[in-house]
Structure 1
Amino acid sequence: MRLGVLDVGSNTVHLLVVDAHRGAAPLPAYSYKTELRLAEHLDKEGKIAQSGADELVSFINQAAELAEDKGCESVLAFATSALREAPNGEKVLERVRKETEIDLQVLTGDDEARLTFLAVRRWFGWSSGRLAVFDIGGGSLEIAAGSDEEPTVAVSVPLGAGRLTREGLTQDPPDKDEVRALRKRIRMEMAAVAGTVLRAGKPQRSVATSKTFRSLARICGAAPSDDGPYVPRSLNRDDLAEWMPKLTKMSAAERAELPGVSVGRSTQLVAGAMVADAVMDLFDLPSLEVCPWALREGVILSRLDQLQPR
């Protein structure tokens, strides 16, 4: 069957069309996305502004038409922290349903962590044993760990790269005092949940997903995306530690010239790198393997699992 998956994130709104059936890996057939940066369309009260809602509705209408043109049987549409946390999020959702006929479901942070974990488990398989999975989004960091397809622990922490950049880094290049204060905040908030994750047991395989981790791995020497998804990639703690002082001294424009870093993501790279550094430090991980599957694939796999076998 052909499915459309519409992912409304804090940074990007992405329609992915896949050919999928139960028991097989979903195969990407078409991709259409824009860096809407919904979390930046907020007023002083934290509500999504009219401009942001207008752009969201416009893109979803385009995505719905494209999904129909590509022959999708259905569209699985979900949203993450930007809509989840906005005081007027439900009103925006109702407008989307009314004007686009797309039922946009808001995932909880724990749902994000759980579904991302499912995708990573299916990618690496049972031989990985106990998994620990880390995903840096625009608004939050998701952490999940366990030995089955359902994680033993799944938590969401408000340490997304976009959020931290907006709230903690006001200058370009970042001010050293702001960097120090943000580093302290990240480590305090992460330490508050680290014990819960580690108490369930030391992971046998530690994995990172998301664009932020992929960009950092590419900067530190991992293979480019053009080499395909099956090339092993990892982010090493020592390599990232060597890059950290360089990244904090660069402007966003300079970071955008690094391999694997887009202009839109370059502003958030320092905050994302600080989160990645804290993850590997506080969880005592010398490296993280990078998985090409993440939340979108988890949503697809979960949907396929609900289908009756032929």
Structure 2
Amino acid sequence: MSDWKQPLRLVEQLDKKGNIEDKGVDKLIDAVQEAADLSDNLRCEEFLAFATSAVRSATNAEDVLKRVEKKTGVRLRVISGEEEAKLTFLAVRRWHGWSAGRITNLDIGGGSLEMSTGTEETPDLAVSLDLGAGRLTHEWFDSDPPERKKINLLRDYIDAELAEPAEQFKAFGEAGLAVGTSKTFRSLARLTGAAPSSAGPYVKRTLTAPGLRQLIAFISRMTAADRAELEGINSDRSHQIVAGALVAEAAMRALNIDKLEICPWALREGVILKWMDHTNAGGDEGEDA
């Protein structure tokens, strides 16, 4: 088994017109080529290449996809926000099992927030909002640490964006289990006292609303460099953790969630599980994978 990641932060490469700048496209091309080469070296039988929020929201998305394909031979498939939420939910359901009952899942990425709830493997409701930690940092914060006024304005904006989806979620009733996925939630849980990643994936990790509120008051006054020194966060994400924490707190408050259990599986595992299900069912290669 091999695990390789390359942070791109493409959402921070969007210009005022919503285009991914050339620097960002070049980084994407390099990452896709490196992943393809690694796949060949490891003799992988299947290569699943997909893009999420930053690409799907970019004004020049089609041009970006063509440039990537021309340079690497890989055609990225852009998945919708709803599909992203559904795939992540599938991974969460498989991890926690049927005994969890209704699951409500929250996932904060760089470009978007995915929310889903359901009692089966396909959620009853799946929503994606442009409330990613990187996107909001890029659009709202222009100082380090962020100004208190900007933080308050961003809080109001997030609350307004969540108001309508929150009412839709409440119509399904309370969840038997509220779950948080993504690196942002894992970092927030670690910063509030959860076990480190070295303890393994089977250790129960939680994030509470009171703990999160205390954390926001603490980290919002720190510079990104100082936050990077905290255990549980690295320099790649320290600049956007404040915005991520604000989204997490607002989403939990909007859905009346006091505690989240952190799940180690998320979108990547959901894509793999979906592909495995389809392959085992005898579907054509690549179809719906």
TM-score range, shorter chain: over 0.9
- Counterparts of 1:282-293 in structure 2 under 5 Å? 282-293=254-265
Residue pair 2:88, 2:266 contacting (<8 A) in 1 also: yes
Give the structure 2 partner of residue 294 of structure 1. Answer: 266
Aligned partners of 2:161, 2:242: CA distance in 1, in Å?
Answer: 17
TM-score by length of 1: 0.89
Residue pair 2:144, 2:224 contacting (<8 A) in 1 also: yes
Give the structure 1 partner of residue 6 of structure 2. Answer: 34
TM-superposed CA distance for 1:207, in Å, is 0.2
The letter of the residue matching 2:140 is G
Match of residue 139, structure 2, among 167, 170, 183: 167
Give the structure 1 partner of residue 22 of structure 2. Answer: 50
Give the structure 1 partner of residue 32 of structure 2. Answer: 60
Q: What SS is found at the alignment partner of 1:258?
A: coil
The runs of 5 or more residues in structure 2 that have no matched partner are 283-289
Aligned partners of 1:308, 1:276: CA distance in 2, in Å?
Answer: 36
Residue pair 2:12, 2:135 contacting (<8 A) in 1 also: no
Which range moved further: 205-214 or 277-286?
A: 277-286
TM-superposed CA distance for 1:309, in Å, is 5.9
Residue pair 2:29, 2:68 contacting (<8 A) in 1 also: yes
Match of residue 270, structure 1, among 242, 248, 255: 242
Give the structure 2 partner of residue 97 of structure 1. Answer: 69
TM-superposed CA distance for 1:88, in Å, is 1.0
Give the structure 1 partner of residue 165 of structure 2. Answer: 193
Q: What SS is found at the alignment partner of 1:33?
A: coil
Give the structure 2 partner of residue 308 of structure 1. Answer: 280
Q: What SS is found at the alignment partner of 1:30?
A: coil
TM-superposed CA distance for 1:101, in Å, is 1.8
Which range moved further: 212-221 or 48-57?
A: 48-57
Give the structure 1 partner of residue 286 of structure 2. Answer: none
The letter of the residue matching 1:105 is R
Match of residue 137, structure 1, among 103, 109, 113: 109
Aligned partners of 2:109, 2:121: CA distance in 1, in Å?
Answer: 22
Match of residue 119, structure 2, among 138, 147, 152: 147
Aligned partners of 2:30, 2:246: CA distance in 1, in Å?
Answer: 34
TM-superposed CA distance for 1:292, in Å, is 0.2
TM-superposed CA distance for 1:222, in Å, is 0.3
The letter of the residue matching 1:151 is P
Match of residue 217, structure 2, among 233, 236, 245: 245
Which range moved further: 109-118 or 36-45?
A: 36-45
TM-superposed CA distance for 1:103, in Å, is 2.2
The runs of 5 or more residues in structure 1 that have no matched partner are 1-28
Aligned partners of 1:47, 1:283: CA distance in 2, in Å?
Answer: 33
Q: Which structure shows the bigger proportion of residues in strand conformation? A: 1
TM-superposed CA distance for 1:36, in Å, is 1.8
Summarize the Cα distance change of 1:221–1:74 in structure 2 as closer, same or farther, 3 Å threshold.
same
**How many residue pairs get matched?**
282
TM-superposed CA distance for 1:248, in Å, is 1.0
Which range moved further: 235-244 or 130-139?
A: 235-244
Residue pair 2:132, 2:244 contacting (<8 A) in 1 also: yes
The letter of the residue matching 2:23 is S
Aligned partners of 1:254, 1:308: CA distance in 2, in Å?
Answer: 48
CA displacement, residues 69-110 of structure 1 (integer Å, 9 cap, x when unaligned): 011001101100111011111111122222212121001000
TM-score by length of 2: 0.95
Match of residue 81, structure 2, among 89, 92, 109: 109
Give the structure 2 partner of residue 230 of structure 1. Answer: 202
Give the structure 2 partner of residue 259 of structure 1. Answer: 231
Percent identical pairs in the alignment equals 50
Q: What SS is found at the alignment partner of 2:251?
A: helix
Give the structure 2 partner of residue 17 of structure 1. Answer: none
